Chain A
Amino acid sequence: MREYVKYFVKRIGFSIFVLIGLSIVIFFISRVVPGDPARISLGPNATEEAVQQLRTKMHLDDPLLLQYVYWMEGAVQGDFGDSLMTKRSVIEDVREFLPASLELIFLAALIHIIFGMVLGVVSAKYNGKWPDTVIRIFSYVGIAAPPFVMAVLFLLIFGYWIPILPSIGGRLSPGITVPTVTGFVSVDSLISGNFHALSDNFVHLILPAIALALGNMFQEARITRSTMVDNSGKDYILMMRSQGVKNGLINRKYLFKPSVIPTISIMALDFSSMFCNAFLVETIFTYPGLSRYAINAMLRNDLNAVCAVVLILGIIFIIANIAVDIIVSILDPRISIGSGGN
């Protein structure tokens, strides 16, 4: 157990170095891209003097290393400078857009984790029979079609042909507001007891979340299925069967538990990749999320915003990975106790 705690302390310590590395890379890349951020920010009509003033203010004339030190100094205090695009401080933008994206991604994660496993288990159980075949066909389609195709398709179906869900984005319908406490509309509406807002928020979230989740869901279903089918022929399952243990218990416990471990490991990656996929989905649904913000920042050379978003996503990626490692090590004692014999 102590080894185990030590391992995670080490992991977290190592993550800090990863973040520093990431910050160096993203900072220098952002400084070598062509274009003068000060000029872009002020527009073509600004005077040379004003531009120069902004350049000095942004430390753009200092040596790169010094710029990095200034920037890092601010970053650890949560100050990433001002966004050139929104003219607000970047951290304020992040505070507004990150919860929106997280809300979307959490719902998508919930969908793909639950249904991915359920479909995988069903597929494995009916291996080679029609439910497996149907799920397999949908899986190939779902994995092959990128989330934005799904997004457009869903909008067309549920927003236009069968208009039961809002096709205009945002997090809430116009006219409904909730007081901002956490920034998560769903949580805020729960806190304020506004269930109408909660359901309205859900209605806005569900389509983009499904569009985002489908690819991962089918991927996870496939992986769960194949590990379960593989493992069902393993000696340790045959051993239990040969002892006359009931099939239900074997499947539920001795087959399922070892089989979900690989699926859980890839969930961390899936979770992070959703931030990238979220960009197009957020754009299509005009959902005010961080991914859309980040891409717009990139297109407009808004370097402060880009650096901040990349760092934050890095932190989220690391947290997701560590969380998954903890879950996996709880499920698999070989990791937490250490495989002495092997």
Chain B
Amino acid sequence: MGSEKNTGFEIKDLKISFKVFNGELKVIDGVNIKLNRGERMGLVGEAGCGKTTTLKSVLGILPKQAMLKSGQIMFNGEDVLKFNSAQMQKFRQESCAMVFQDPSSALNPIFKVKDLMINGMRNSLNTKDKSWEKEAYGRAVKALGEVMLPDPKRIMENYPFQLSGGMRQRVCIAMALATDRHLLLADEPTTSLDVTIQEQILHLIHKLSVEKDMSLVLVTHSMGVIREMTDRVSIMYAGTIMEVGDTKDVLENPGHPYTRALIDCIPKLTGDGVAEGIPGRVPDYLNPPKGCRYVERCPKATAVCREEKPQLVECGPNHMVACHNFGR
């Protein structure tokens, strides 16, 4: 299904606002993400900074109040945001899938796994004749096996509520990967699972993305997960990308004060107990700061930070940072 064409995925200068009663929430304000084929990219940031919104905008499943202000989402040289509905459906069916944060709400509770999986992929198959259902069933069983679910045929007959949280998330991943897609957007796939299951699910996603030569955008809060899972990482704050680079490089030589603060928040085994977190909170999206959005919480903020929005600039090999203070 056109895998030769997969030249990568890039989000350019994405801006999204939400219409609300008393104005406009300028949530996403300049997201830039670029990843090559087969690369795994981490997307880190605190709650409410627009990570999920970014992913949803790729698949065109934003709520009605969302307004696309500007930007491009390039996939295989085409702008996803300019797709008409048929092209978008094709993109969803063949190229890109998303794994949601909470598997218990992502599966329709009153339908069997079989029903959800088969109908989920009915338009993604090339077979258009009557045998599609049989093929879909076969693929579904195979996909459930790939996500290490024991006895896939029995799982197919189960309702989602009969499965545990980890099993549900595996079903969701199986749904995303049952057909040959090239881009997987994983929106905190382990947040609602318990710790032992988190590890398994992450390994599974990592393994499958390698096996299937798939690009991955993994949203998470955990720096540990980022280090283990990803090749590159984007640090996001209040709807803007603050820093982006090779994972190891960013974690070892953070260029942005926010990245540094995030890393300092990780509890250290040898350190002085639990870290304190970053004082302050995410800015008001109704009236965001004119300049850098991190300015209110940044210990190094200067006058220029308030006035001018910093652009992403090269700060090392394959490493960019959006901070006025960098290099000064």
Contacts and interface: CB of A to CB of B under 8 A. Distances in A.
Contact of A236 (B56, B106, B119): B106
Contacts of B61: 238, 241-242
A233 interface: yes
B161 interface: yes
Interface stretch (A33-41, A171-179, A244-252): A244-252
B105 A258 contact: no
B77 interface: no
A234 interface: yes
A235 B97 contact: no
Given A244-B89, A245-B122, A254 B108 contact: yes
Nearest to B121: A243
B110 interface: yes
A126 to B, nearest CB: 12
Nearest to B112: A333
A242 B110 contact: no
B162 interface: yes
Given A238-B56, A340-B161, A245 B119 contact: yes
A246 B93 CA distance: 10
B107 interface: yes
B161 A235 contact: no
Contact of A239 (B64, B89, B165, B172): B172
A63 interface: no
A95 interface: no
A43 interface: no
A77 interface: no
A25 interface: no
B159 A334 contact: yes
B186 to A, nearest CB: 12
A341 interface: yes
B105 A240 contact: no
B253 interface: no
A244 B100 contact: no
A340 B119 CA distance: 25
Contacts of A235: 100-102, 105-106
A339 interface: yes
Interface string A243-273: 1111001000110011001000000000000
Given A334-B159, A340-B162, A243 B108 contact: no
B59 interface: yes
A331 B159 CA distance: 13
B105 A249 contact: no
B109 interface: yes
B23 to A, nearest CB: 18
B309 interface: no
Contact of A257 (B90, B110, B162): B110
Contacts of A333: 110, 159, 161
A332 interface: yes
A337 interface: yes
A238 B123 contact: no
Interface in A318-342: 331-334, 337, 339-342
Interface string A297-322: 00000000000000000000000000
Given A236-B108, A244-B91, 19 more contacts: A233-B63, A234-B105, A235-B106, A236-B107, A236-B109, A239-B106, A239-B107, A241-B61, A242-B92, A243-B121, A243-B124, A244-B89, A244-B94, A245-B119, A253-B111, A337-B162, A340-B162, A341-B164, A341-B165
20 contacts: A235-B100, A235-B102, A235-B105, A235-B106, A239-B172, A241-B61, A242-B59, A243-B121, A244-B92, A244-B123, A245-B122, A246-B89, A257-B110, A258-B110, A333-B159, A334-B159, A340-B161, A341-B161, A342-B104, A342-B161
Interface of B: 56, 59, 61, 63-64, 89-94, 97-98, 100-102, 104-111, 116, 119-124, 159, 161-165, 172, 175-176
